[in-house]
Structure 1
Amino acid sequence: MSELRHHWTPTAVLYLVLSLAGLVGTWTFNVLAIVQLRDFIGDLVTSGPAVSSITVDLLVVAVAGSAFIIVEARRLGMRFAWLYIVLSGVTAFAFTFPLFLAMRERRLTARSATSPETAPGAPAA
């Protein structure tokens, strides 16, 4: 059990807290939109240029973040990375991306504990 706790670095905990804040923050407004029977997609693109700008901004970040998730997960041997992307469609990328970063941090910590030469910042061979 102590081995499991060891991989939760302060950075991993920060990412996990951000993930939970993303889930609660976005779903508070999602539930409000559902209760009010709002056209969620329509509201995103028709409520003026500022909302459209934020929508495009977040969409581009989500696509870039999704590419990062796939590439980084493959590099680190993390399985089921696609699940973070799929879950972002039913929760929020503000939840799944920091969650991925927390799990990535744990993976990096576990790898550095087993072989110091793979630790972040270790000199290249």
Structure 2
Amino acid sequence: MAPTEMIYALIGLALVVWIYWINRDLLRTGGVSAIEWTCYLVALPALLIGWYFNIVYMREYRAAAGWWHWTTLLFVNPASASGGQDLIFANLILFPLWTIVDGRRLGMKAPWVYFVMSLVTSYAFAIALFMAIRERQLRQQSAVA
């Protein structure tokens, strides 16, 4: 793994560890629900497949590799542009809005970090992890009420 690839991987893993660390009390209570299991089952392959393609991208484009270049490649044809614009709107506007607003309403810790995590791991991974922790938060609040 090249130094840049390693840095992104370490930042991503550090953010995941941090999320679990700050939510350790929440995660100690109750079992894992079917929704949580589903989220984790989606998160893992999303992370691994996303990292695989990002590593291939960084190795193929070396010096040109970067956020700007990666984003321009989303628009090389109409099909990829359709998916690319969806990804940009969803990940850069709707995802932080959703995680921060909904996370704060539910009393989740550091809801903004899921967006940051999505930039160095995988958008689908960050969504799945947010949804799993959100589900646990909702179940804990229901149990207390």
TM-score (norm 1): 0.80
Counterpart-to-counterpart distance in 2, 1:84 and 1:54: 21
Please tell me whether the aligned partners of residues 15 and 102 of structure 1 are also in contact (alpha carbons under 8 angstroms): yes
Name the structure where helix makes up a greater proportion of residues: 2
Show structure 2 runs of 5+ residues with no match: 1-26
Q: Which moved more, 1:12-21 or 1:47-56?
A: 12-21
**SS of equivalent to 1:80:** coil
Structure 1 residue 5, shift from structure 2 partner = 6.1
1:19-58 matches, cutoff 5 A: 19-37=43-61, 39-45=69-75, 47-58=76-87
Please list the CA deviations of residues 2-35 of structure 1 after superposition, one character each: whole Å capped at 9, or x if unmatched. Answer: x836242110111122122221121111011111
Please tell me whether the aligned partners of residues 7 and 109 of structure 1 are also in contact (alpha carbons under 8 angstroms): no
Counterpart-to-counterpart distance in 2, 1:97 and 1:28: 18
Equivalent residue number for residue 129 of structure 2 = 99
Please tell me whether the aligned partners of residues 23 and 92 of structure 1 are also in contact (alpha carbons under 8 angstroms): yes
Please tell me whether the aligned partners of residues 95 and 115 of structure 2 are also in contact (alpha carbons under 8 angstroms): no
| Alignment length (residue pairs) | 112
Provide closer, same or farther for how the CA distance between residues 16 and 5 of structure 1 changes in structure 2, counting only shifts above 3 A. Answer: farther
Counterpart-to-counterpart distance in 1, 2:131 and 2:74: 27
Q: CA RMSD in A?
A: 1.7
Counterpart-to-counterpart distance in 1, 2:28 and 2:39: 17
Structure 1 residue 75, shift from structure 2 partner = 0.7
TM-score (norm 2): 0.70
Show structure 1 runs of 5+ residues with no match: 116-125
Equivalent residue number for residue 66 of structure 1 = 96
Please tell me whether the aligned partners of residues 87 and 96 of structure 1 are also in contact (alpha carbons under 8 angstroms): yes
Report the structure number with the largest CA radius of gyration. 1
Please tell me whether the aligned partners of residues 73 and 81 of structure 1 are also in contact (alpha carbons under 8 angstroms): yes
